[in-house]
Amino acid sequence: MLVALTARDKPGHLSVRKASRAAHLAYVEETGVVAQAGPLLDTDGEMCGSLVILDVPDMAAAEAWAAGDPYARAGLFETVSLDTWKKVIG
């Protein structure tokens, strides 16, 4: 099942994102469940959140992945949502 994880960073936490980025990217690579991903950008072009499409067996697996993400463990996010997603184009 595909799950869209949308997360918004806490204001003023760009330094936390940058400090955790290498660990986050390693986690993405080692877990092997990320179909697509990239940062959300603010009006200045700075990273301010994440959009991650997970390909997982169920919502519990998506929740576990989200909880284990180094960004989440570093306290980066103000909000996180997980929604079942259906790929139609692309």
Whether the model clears a pTM of 0.85, i.e. scores above it, the answer is yes
Q: Which of 19, 5, 90 is nearest to 49 (CA)?
A: 5
pLDDT value of residue 6 = 98
Q: What is the domain partition of the chain in residue ranges?
A: 2-82
Q: How many CA atoms lie within 13 A of 45 on its CB side?
A: 0
pLDDT tens, residue by residue, 4-47 = 999 999 999 999 999 999 999 999 999 999 999 999 999 999 99
pLDDT tens, residue by residue, 35-81 = 999 999 999 999 999 999 999 999 999 999 999 999 999 999 999 99
CATH of span 2-82? 3.30.70.1060
CB 65 within 8 A of CB 50: no
Torsion, CA 55, CA 56, CA 61, CA 63, rounded to 10: 30
